[in-house]
Structure 1
Amino acid sequence: MDNSINRRGLLRMAGMSALGVAAAPLITACGGGSGGATGSVSNAGKQLVPWPAYVPFAGPKPDAPGDETGVQPLYLKYPETLTQSVNDTVGDGSKVTALVVTFGPPPAPVAQNRFWQEINKALNVDLQVTVVPDPEYGQKMTTLMASGSDLPDIIMFTNLALPHSLEFIQAQCADLSEFVGGDAVKEYPNLANIPTYAWKGMGRINGKLYGVPLERPTPANSLFVNRTAMDEAGIPKDWTTEQYLEAMRELTGDRKWGLGWYKTLFGGLGSITYHAGSLGAPNTWTATGGQFVHTISTPQFEQAVDTMRKLVEAKTVYPDSLTVSSTDMQSHFHNGTVASIQDGFGSVAPATLSKIDGRFELDLGRPYGPQATPWRSAGLFGYVTFKKAAPERIKLLLRICNYLSAPFGTKEYELANYGVEGVHFTKDDRGIKPTDLFDTENNSSLPVKYLGAAPSVLYLPGYPDTAQAVYDWQKASLPKSVANPGQGLRSATQVSKGAQLDQIIGDGIAAIAFGRKPLSAWKDVVTQWRQTGGDRMAEELAKEHAAAQ
């Protein structure tokens, strides 16, 4: 998730927004209706609108370039000169309503909120944003979709699987195909700058495009490590499986542990992502010869389960890992109680570094197996859709998204992410420096970052050494990384039984890792998963995948 920001750290605002663990396709629902929604949402047998053309922004030269494997451009300093990416008037002075999720406190009213006022001025609209706290988001969206009336102009969908969301979108939201499909997106240069993987991660509905993705970096669940402790113990950055296991033993003792897990990791594949990718297991699915095969049925995945069992057996894992919260485990990592923790890549952020507070150097653990296949994420946090309206109104809403998606190195990005210079931030030789006002006026309390998001870059203001270390990790790891071929595809079973199927996997991993069942019991977990709906889901995804080729 994304958390609120304080002036000690520009959390997830410099292109480091959270991804969390590798997730199921973001908008996955079939069958049934909601809010008057009817009709097939499958892409099989449909004419497919082309993905939006990709026209990358020629921005400030990075200190080190990104590449097609997902390595982010590295910026050790904030650009001295900013460009302007939007030269035309965005809005028409009208009221624009939006609904977004929030992970922080609500914003101050617009009359007392300079950040909100400046956003409205830049967009030339009266932007009225309804922010829904994350714990309430699912219920709020369910109610909204069930009513199908009095919809806001812009509706933001997260990666939370919402039953019948696709039918609702198809029935109640604007088809954007003619506006952003293929070369049409070039009318909105900042949307054309969104990488194709983010559009594919969002996926089509009935062959058409109904949303604009909120891009995020491609690394998935990663191993965060205390590099200082590892260096002191003589642990190399590149390691074999045995060296990794030995390193965790070396870092354990005197009420400290090599590794910390937490309870919410055991609701699916989250807990095993790093190990499965290290040992060469496919990212969730393989698509071969017209068939989809799930990673849990591969020997590499079973080896990853065994590796987790060995870690627990050697007492290198924090003992309460099945009950402790993610927040508490992160605190254990920040204070040095555990030397490594699995977390979403978006936690590489100034806020994390400020919590570490100089106790150690932060780094990411490289995969340890000889045939590693690090898992990529979906490449987006969610997407926005628009209420059906006349073409001119849809174009206005797209111009709003285009402005808020302006890339790093532009004046628009600076306003949308940091606010007004001299009011919300100042600049020094370390880059952006937030003011006290930024604690309460920012794009987490007023989440305009969920109405449009720039492609992420690797910029950690005040922490250039960590940024360089993370870049080096990306260069070493991402060329071997693999995507989930099921991302963006449609499966009715995934929506109706996805949570149940994920829990079978998570419970099975936990039972074996923590010694309640032997490794030989894994085959029973796979059988249960397949019979409960896994085989049916594989058939549905294979059909969708064939249609997309």
Structure 2
Amino acid sequence: MAGTGGATRPYGPTDQTNDFPEGACVNQSFDRRRFLALVGLGAAAVTGSGGLAGCTSKGTSGDGGTNAGELSRVLPRYIPNTSVKADIQSITGKNGASSDPIFLKYPDSPVTTVSGVPGKGGSYTTMTPLWGSIPPSSGNPYYEAVNRALGATFTMQPADGNTYGDKLPPLFAADKLPDWIQMAPWMTTKLNFAKAVGEKFVDLSPYLAGNAIEAYPNLANIPSSAWAAGVWNGKLYGFPVSSTGFNSAGTYFYRKDIFDQLGIAADGIKGPDDLTALGKQLTDAKGGRWAFDDMFGGGGAYAAQIFKFPLSWDLDSAGKLIHKYETEGMLAALDWHQKLVKAGYVHPDAVAGNTETDQRFRSGKVVCHAGGVGAWNSDDAVSGTSANPRYNRQAFKALSIDGQPEVEIGSGAGWFSYLNKRLSDDQIKECLAVANYLAAPYGSKEWLAVNFGTEGDLYEMKDGNPALTEKGSKYVATSYQWLASPPSVVVPKAGFVQVAKDFGAWQAQAVQYAVKRVFFGMNVTDPAQYATIDQPVVDTITDVRFGRKTLQDYKNAVETWRKAGGNAMRDFRKSVMDRYGTGLNS
């Protein structure tokens, strides 16, 4: 649902590194925009159980790309919607990255993008995640209003996002999946998804590939590159949700109001040494203020930006596959963060594993922290300024250890929804028409209906933007948006226009440092027998970064990981790369 101050998209966990769920402010522009030839396996799934699923040598080119012809046949044609103009246009960066367009207020005359009611009176079950309070399903005026607009009955039963992935394996095993379900790729690792996807879900290729998408103009407004990661085994299965032109793991935040009070210029902070010096300057333990919360991230998700190691695999200078665990950058990052902790610059609750980072940040107990950009929004501004009118969250410009920043980007969309294969052809077409309605762009009448329900009852216009009423706050929740959504845009909420502008300005500079790593945009499923070998290393990383174990302990854990399957995974990944390319041409 639209509900923050700079990006309208469904929000999820901010420490997930595989697909970088982000979402700042209010995100409704998933412009993962241009399909740059999408050479390489791109989206044809590769599985480690029984070989390379659905991939053949047909169409292999000599430039590292394979199945390019197959991909071009199944991907929908991109037909951009030009009926709504943003106040601040997207900025194009490196490697196909681009910032999200910014709307400072909702258009005065919302456009109509769907004529009539899309549904035919069908009834469908759904399953979507929700981070936050789950509203009642029965008698919910928001669900009733949206279902009326859709012309079909969708039983919305959001599940706790924190445990959502754990609910999926039993449903798959018992074949009790709903008609329409949302899953992020990182939730599929325990599902043998490359095999299951064809058994459980509808192949959308015949309905949407190429020019067939013209029947669904709002879906056609989603760039081809966002659809690519929804392709498995050479067929299109997933509707992209939460697509954006800049899909990154997160960033480093600071309290600008405190910096201003102390006369600190944020632009002078460019790398880890500057942050270390800042730690001494900001920390006043007796006064209850520490410079930092966690500055590392689970598995190094945020430290990777500064120390330039990959979020997963990369190619070294000799072209050999190397995992992030094996990089000098990871060792340097662990050493740096451990020294911050031992110097007393990191809040003790963070060291103890307490994850209430935002509360400490808003209260001023910590001045800087690393996190997903979903934390930077108008809801945060409302909470922060209610306690301190001067509260001002900002993000550092891209940081690096060598003065040459790199921000690793993920594929066109990090979330996808799927239709159950048991649906009839007529039901599939009805759901496609509904998806087209749900994907109506920001600035349309349909977008307001999907995200806010009924005007005057569940929302009203304030300062040119939709705002939930007290009743709306009780019943409206991010739900339908997980089934299908338009490209992301940045918009203000609750009058915090500057938050949207600030987020947009940060994103516009960050896209200039975008980099792709090996296997970009490729659905690669590692052999199932190695699904658990990472956890001991992840646990050791946590202990080392917080000073409870040594760097040698980490090196030992990595060596154990190699013997337990890390080297075997490297061999498997090399076979994928040799046969299907690196993904770096996508």
Q: Secondary structure at the match of 1:452?
A: coil
**What one-letter code is carried by the residue in structure 1 that aligns with 2:266?**
P
What is the aligned counterpart of 2:455 among 390, 411, 421? 421
Contact 1:219–1:375, Cα closer than 8 Å, also in 2: yes
Cα distance, 1:511–1:255 mapped onto 2, change above 3 Å: same
Contact 1:491–1:540, Cα closer than 8 Å, also in 2: no
User: 1:386: which partner in 2?
Assistant: 419
**What one-letter code is carried by the residue in structure 1 that aligns with 2:174?**
S
Q: Secondary structure at the match of 1:409?
A: coil
1:43-442 equivalences under 5 Å are 43=55, 45=57, 48-50=70-72, 51-68=75-92, 69-110=97-138, 112-148=139-175, 151-158=177-184, 159-160=186-187, 161-200=189-228, 202-217=229-244, 218-233=247-262, 234-241=264-271, 242-253=273-284, 254-261=287-294, 265-266=297-298, 269=299, 272-287=300-315, 291-326=320-355, 328-357=356-385, 358-369=389-400, 370-388=403-421, 389-429=423-463, 431-442=465-476
How many residues are matched?
526
**What one-letter code is carried by the residue in structure 1 that aligns with 2:563?**
Q
Q: Distance in 2 between matches of 1:216 and 1:19?
A: 16
Deviations 1:294-313 (A, max 9, x none): 23323333322222123223
Contact 2:130–2:158, Cα closer than 8 Å, also in 1: yes
Please give the root-mean-square deviation of Cα atoms over the aligned residues, in Å: 3.0
Q: CA offset at residue 373 of structure 1?
A: 0.9
Contact 2:7–2:490, Cα closer than 8 Å, also in 1: no
Q: CA offset at residue 40 of structure 1?
A: 6.5
Cα distance, 1:240–1:107 mapped onto 2, change above 3 Å: closer
Q: Alignment identity in percent?
A: 25
Deviations 1:391-430 (A, max 9, x none): 3322221221121121111111111112221111111325
Q: Secondary structure at the match of 2:14?
A: coil
Say whether 1:497 aligns with 2:540.
no
Say whether 1:513 aligns with 2:545.
yes
Cα distance, 1:223–1:63 mapped onto 2, change above 3 Å: same
Q: Secondary structure at the match of 2:364?
A: coil
Cα distance, 1:528–1:133 mapped onto 2, change above 3 Å: same
Unmatched runs of 5 consecutive residues or more in structure 2: 21-42, 59-66
Contact 2:17–2:301, Cα closer than 8 Å, also in 1: no
**What one-letter code is carried by the residue in structure 2 that aligns with 1:533?**
G
Q: CA offset at residue 29 of structure 1?
A: 8.7
Deviations 1:123-159 (A, max 9, x none): 111222333333553443222211225x432122234
Q: Distance in 2 between matches of 1:126 and 1:16?
A: 21
Q: Distance in 2 between matches of 1:307 and 1:493?
A: 31
Contact 1:406–1:413, Cα closer than 8 Å, also in 2: yes
Q: Secondary structure at the match of 2:294?
A: coil
**What one-letter code is carried by the residue in structure 2 that aligns with 1:121?**
R
Q: CA offset at residue 102 of structure 1?
A: 2.7
Deviations 1:56-90 (A, max 9, x none): 22243223211342311122222222111222541
Normalising by the residue count of structure 2, what TM-score does the alignment of the two structures yield?
A: 0.81
Q: CA offset at residue 199 of structure 1?
A: 2.6
Contact 1:404–1:449, Cα closer than 8 Å, also in 2: yes
Normalising by the residue count of structure 1, what TM-score does the alignment of the two structures yield?
A: 0.86
Q: Secondary structure at the match of 1:372?
A: coil
Contact 2:194–2:525, Cα closer than 8 Å, also in 1: no
Q: Distance in 1 between matches of 2:240 and 2:391?
A: 36
Contact 2:230–2:240, Cα closer than 8 Å, also in 1: no
**What one-letter code is carried by the residue in structure 1 that aligns with 2:90?**
G
User: 2:26: which partner in 1?
Assistant: none
Cα distance, 1:464–1:25 mapped onto 2, change above 3 Å: closer
Q: Distance in 2 between matches of 1:420 and 1:12?
A: 23
Cα distance, 1:191–1:412 mapped onto 2, change above 3 Å: same
Contact 2:6–2:492, Cα closer than 8 Å, also in 1: no
Say whether 1:24 aligns with 2:18.
yes
Cα distance, 1:193–1:525 mapped onto 2, change above 3 Å: farther
Q: CA offset at residue 338 of structure 1?
A: 0.6
